[in-house]
Chains A and B, each alone.
Chain A
């Protein structure tokens, strides 16, 4: 007999309400196999059944643990009328009868799509259930991808997964160095949720099946234990028996490379069992969580790296302070200017300018092998030692010899340093210079550009007992001396037209000579800025790959 009415059970209200038609038999409960699944821990897996008996609707409590209230009264069995309130735990449901608009061609409306295949495995989920799981997965993905706080991540994973699989108890544990179980390294506690209440617990307070947890941590496998079926997924062990657990769901929190920890869920409620589908969701949560934790780790490493870079920048500011920047303006006999521009944040190039006495000045340029922080530290040390070695030295070669002996005693890992040193008598224009493996000095007059003072020995810091030779010359008024490092003459270009005809495609002495000739008569500062511009132009669109350093002195003569 076909009724003119269609019966519904309505859960919730407003936009979030769900309305499930009642068929010839409709089962409501917490279990995933129910026609209407309710997320209420006080509900039993199969809590009650509503049957269509010749057009009347009979509600029967299926021996639930906590009973069923119909219109506020505990009822084992009762006929339902339009508008009746059915309460399971804290979840209210409403039974409604509506007039059918068109007669259903089906004698029974099937909402339950679960079918049992011959092997006994569930083939499909009720559509409402799969939607819930999808929603949970979506929530997880969203919340995990934007959070870099490990503690919050762990809480989200636990809450979302446990609510989706209606878990009674759960915890997230981490892997120690020897794959032992550890609390969260961020807060030192184990994140747990028990009967809906989150709690941070100590490691020794946690009662879990360690055999299962260790197995998941060690092998990275998902484990599902169901005591009722005990289908051999995992052997019931002593710890499971001792804790009287009925079902365990445990999955690794992992990436492809690493197992970070486990998501562990269990229950000791007699008829509460986790399903294969619960496990699939938990496994997806574990994978997402692994990625999210890895992200958080990378994010943290990045912050640390930025902090270090910031420190290095600060170090460079300090180091730059060692280099002279107050060029003499009170001596009409000379103009001096120098600059260093590190290729990395810090550099190993250096220059120095010193007034030795009223009539003598010293110019130094140097290049420590290697780049970055190690070179920069060596450079800082060398600058300090140079001042020390220059005190009381008879000649430029003597200064280099002293500097070399100090450096050989200290240098590690084959670090060495090229250096050229010039001392100029401002009264006479007499110059004394020595060169330890460095580029020759460029001498710029109004007529010509030449090099002089080539290296008379190897770089500093390699061998003891090395002697360099003092070279002497006379600098005429109007001449400029320019000293430079590798970064200038070894600058490279990616533009084949620019590189055309240059040896090794490098800027070279040829490039330097070209721009210097255009700057005859310029001040040292204008000269150096023009060279830097030209080198930058040569390297463009890249930046010069090595530190670029120059120091120049223009001699105007005495009186």
Chain B
């Protein structure tokens, strides 16, 4: 997994690539939970390059979403790959995340 955070605009964009699993999700969690309170308007997670995501990745996104709600920030999934959408649909979470194409 590769993580890049870009805080140029009002929205902090966190780009994640590769696999989000039990071993990599703690790192993503750290980055996301740190970015949320500091973001001007909100955080966008770019998930276009995700090849695999397991339930620990889902939990990480849910925790990010909850943290954003607490801080009054937006939390958006950007261009989620089919691997991500499949998992979100399976967990019936696709309706709770705000999703945009890019």
Contacts and interface: CB of A to CB of B under 8 A. Distances in A.
Contacts, number: 51
Place the interface of chain B in its size category: 10 to 19
Contacts of A486: 90
A414 B63 contact: yes
Nearest to A457: B95
Contacts of A504: 86
Interface in A377-431: 408, 413-416, 418
Interface stretch (B1-9, B13-21, B38-46, B54-62): B54-62
A414 B59 contact: yes
Interface string A168-181: 00000000000000
Contact of A369 (B55, B64, B86): B55
Please report whether the interface of chain B is mostly helix, strand, loop or mixed according to DSSP: helix
B96 A462 contact: yes
A415 B62 CA distance: 8
A463 B65 CA distance: 9
Contacts of A416: 59, 62, 93
Contact of A413 (B63, B69, B86, B96): B63
A437 B93 CA distance: 7
Contact of A414 (B62, B69, B92): B62
A438 B92 contact: yes
Interface string A479-517: 000000010001000000000000010000000000000
B14 to A, nearest CB: 16
A557 interface: no
Contacts of A459: 91-93
Nearest to B56: A370
Nearest to B63: A414
A220 interface: no
A437 B58 CA distance: 14
Interface in B52-102: 55-56, 58-66, 69, 86, 90-93, 95-96
A26 to B, nearest CB: 69
Contact of B58 (A369, A438, A455): A369
Interface in A519-549: none
Given A418-B92, A459-B91, A490-B90, 11 more contacts: A369-B58, A369-B91, A414-B58, A414-B60, A414-B61, A416-B62, A437-B93, A458-B96, A459-B93, A462-B65, A463-B69
Interface of B: 55-56, 58-66, 69, 86, 90-93, 95-96
Interface of A: 369-370, 408, 413-416, 418, 437-438, 455, 457-459, 462-464, 486, 490, 504
5 contacts: A369-B62, A413-B63, A415-B59, A462-B93, A490-B90
